[in-house]
A and B are shown apart, each in its own frame.
Chain A
Amino acid sequence: MKISATSKDLTAGLLFLAAGAFILYSAVQFRIGTPRVMGPGFFPAMLGGLLIVLALITILRSFGRRDEGGTAVRMRPVLFILGAAASFGLLIKPAGLLIAVFGTVVIASFASNDLRLRDAVIVGVILAGLSALVFVELLGQRLPLLGTVFG
């Protein structure tokens, strides 16, 4: 998939527009109040309105720009890095630090093109050991080494 400068501006503008509309809509639900005694919605409403204006400018300008050719977009790093981080959150309580670190490292290693699974496993084991040593033993972080499933 390729993405060009024009479509970048257009996409950004549309995203800002959606966000601005959502912010403005929510702000109205919060109660706006008066300028003298501002309600909880007053400031967000201002921001939402401003964002909509900026979004419209971005969208309009995207049509006037010359297209400078596209850049390739790669989804693999996004998916695996975010997935690895999320798995840490999922594993830390039930499985504990050692397994969470190991799992995160192995999943994350799929993000790189030059994946070597054997290396990933080795790095995972080393990092699990190191983080237990440094963060739990030396720095005294209160993280369970083994989680609740191990009783």
Chain B
Amino acid sequence: MGFLDNIALGLGEAITTTNLLYCFLGCLMGTLIGVLPGLGPAATIIMLMPLTFALDPTTSLIMLAGIYYGAQYGGSTTAILVNIPGEASSTVTAIDGYQMARKGQAGLALSTAAISSFIAGTIATLVIAVFAPVLAGVALRFGPTEYFALMVLGLVCSVVLASGSLVKALAMVTLGLTAGVVGIDVTSGVERFTFGFQPLSNGLDMVPVAMGVFGLGEIISNLSRPAEQRTTYAGRIGNMLPSRKELRRMLPPALRGTTLGSVLGVLPGGGALLASFATYAMEKRLARDPKSFGKGALEGVAGPEAANNAGAQTSFIPMLTLGIPSTVIMALMAGAMMIQGIQPGPSVIREQPDLFWGLIASMWVGNLMLVILNLPLVGVWVKLLTIPYRILFPAILIFCAIGVIAINGRPFDIYIMVVFGLVGALFRRLDCEPAPFILGMVIGPLVEEYLRRAMLLSRGDPMIFLTRPISAVLLALTVGLILMIALPSLRKRRDEALQEDGV
């Protein structure tokens, strides 16, 4: 099937009334929740995920993807209007976006974010449509040995690109992998780490665990901050529609950001965060007037927003083609696919082309909807930002609790959420990132399965990972990455890159 046939198939699937409706609902709900201060995209997705379970697989994935874009856009809105970035990658948007808002150009900042994201989304969708089938074709020839090596590389990458201590993040991944092992071992029938709890024999459910770590965890850490420092937005939004001159100013940074974001986003570690920081630094260097950065430069919003969105989009590639989620959000998506009975991996594209291409086409539709949705609705989002947190957090808590109980109707899942809320709060206190834990937990069972098969194939000889060329290269890359980060000089540069401009 040719490229155009695929696109046509995808659009045909995405533009059915049902799918359009759920794509719209996803974008709307995602923005609505994502705009609330202190709720990042991961927390938003996990809160809204139970709403998609009853839908058929394609529709539910389309809605989830919509929620993801909406949550991201909502996060940028909050970053621009009240300087509270919901996630690490919108901290960059907050630098110049918030300054623009203070100068009375909030409308322009918001539309710059929307338009750059749309440009990035459109191009990145094409990138996925071109490269995903190629990569899936390669991946079909991978054996268990290559898969195991790829997963190790992916897990290490995700840790390297995260901020904070490398060793502690590796420990969190290892803990997560162990959490993935919980339940009855398929091969031997032995119960592992269930502590006699019958509901654990099928393994730890991702939703209550992630809801505890992210949902409850974020409420706790928001309430733990000293005093309520939130400022509500009081200024004018200003003109939403950019002039021709302003459009011309935002286009080059948006295109540069898209390029960087698309490339870095495919990395097994998911480089959207790195991409937005790198783009900001690059734009600042390229600018005719670097001093305007940090004081409300349009380019400082356009570039990073495009990079962030392109990276968010292309991070779907490893998940869809290799079945290996590279970011915690992709881990949640992969988890949702498994709940729908689809094992993410290279065969999805061949066995369920309608689902695969429908999802890709709906990415573009979703991006378009966001632009249309946000022009008229920005006033509503501003209103939402005025709700005090002491009213907001009980509502979020209730949403989490009902979302968890709705899955199986058993209070046990609520207690799992509470336990992992405690674990999450504890680790956050100790500066241990919870995201690698969730990533490890979702792919833990796969890692064990592939390791087991590879070792069976080699009759117990671990050298197979080094004698097979592809896995040897992947593992060499992994070791190289760890060494690079372990060397003090490079480590310093990574920290600088992630903290450039003192955010």
Contacts and interface: CB of A to CB of B under 8 A. Distances in A.
A41 to B, nearest CB: 8
Contacts of A112: 223, 389-390, 393
A54 B170 contact: yes
A82 interface: yes
B174 A51 contact: yes
A49 to B, nearest CB: 10
B462 interface: yes
Contacts of A36: 455-456, 459-460
A142 interface: yes
Interface in B435-478: 447-448, 451-452, 455-456, 459-462
Contacts of A12: 168, 171, 427, 430-432
Given A16-B171, A36-B459, A77-B220, A3 B429 contact: yes
Interface stretch (B5-13, B332-340, B357-365, B408-416): B408-416
Contacts of A133: none
B421 A114 contact: no
Given A44-B178, A44-B192, A86 B414 contact: yes
B422 A19 contact: no
Interface stretch (B126-134, B288-296, B305-313, B395-403): B395-403
B171 A51 contact: yes
Contacts of B204: none
Contacts of A93: 411
A131 B398 contact: yes
B254 to A, nearest CB: 38
Interface residues on B, range: 35 or more
Contacts of A85: 216, 397, 400-401, 414, 417-418, 421
Contact of A78 (B174, B181, B220, B226): B220
A40 B187 contact: yes
A92 B418 contact: no
A100 B402 CA distance: 10
B394 interface: yes
B430 A35 contact: no
A23 B181 CA distance: 11
B171 A55 contact: yes
Interface string B292-332: 00000000000000000000000000000000000000000
B501 interface: no
A32 B282 CA distance: 52
Contacts of B223: 74, 76-77, 81, 111-113
B503 interface: no
A37 B411 contact: no
B357 to A, nearest CB: 29
A131 B394 CA distance: 12
Interface in B58-86: none
A31 B223 CA distance: 45
Nearest to B181: A44
A64 B497 CA distance: 24
Interface string B159-196: 00000010110110011011001000101101011000
Interface of A: 3, 5, 8-9, 11-12, 15-16, 19, 23, 26, 30-31, 34-40, 42-44, 47-48, 50-51, 54-55, 57-58, 61, 72-74, 76-78, 81-82, 84-86, 88-90, 92-93, 97, 100-101, 104-105, 108-109, 111-116, 119-120, 123-124, 127, 131, 135, 139, 141-143
Interface of B: 51, 165, 167-168, 170-171, 174-175, 177-178, 181, 185, 187-188, 190, 192-193, 216, 219-220, 223-224, 226-228, 389-391, 393-395, 397-398, 400-402, 405-406, 409, 411-412, 414-415, 417-418, 421-422, 425-427, 429-432, 447-448, 451-452, 455-456, 459-462
